Amino acid sequence: MATGFSRKSRLLLLQAEYREAVIGLAFFCALPLAALIPIAMNQDNPVVGTQRVAGIVENATSMPVAPKAVSGRGLYYQYGIRLNDNALISVDGELDTPHTIGSEVTIERQRHKKGADTFRLLPD
């Protein structure tokens, strides 16, 4: 069965003939996956309440300790803050607004559905 077309020419013809079918099949397979994204992104433990609390900065460390060993977020401060109820928490803060040890800061306590608390340093 000699057709006079080289193997490369036959592959190019097949590619041109089935290009739309391959693209359509890819979209057909991607649609069910796209429908699952909101389900996968659903928060299992959403924030159910917030509260403003005050605390005193006990220590501050620039993070990461070895900046050349870590890629991604960049430099920031990690503060050890003593809350008014005597609990010691750790909160991250930006480099542009450093807080001195002994200064009072305002923090947002976020209460989650499953009982955990997270904290966010509020701007002054």
- Contact indicator for 91, 107 with CB cutoff of 8 Å: yes
What domains are there in the chain, each with its CATH number? Answer: 1-42 (no CATH), 47-121 (2.40.50)
Structural element, H or E, at residue 27: helix 7-41
Task: Please list, in sequence order, all residues whose beta carbon lies within 8 angstroms of the beta carbon of residue 10, skipping any fewer than 6 positions away.
Answer: 3
Q: Is the pLDDT of residue 67 over 90?
A: no
Encoded amino acid at 21, one letter: A
Predicted confidence (pLDDT) per residue in 71-102, tens digit: 556 678 889 999 988 899 999 888 777 888 99
Instruction: Name the pTM for this structure.
Output: 0.57
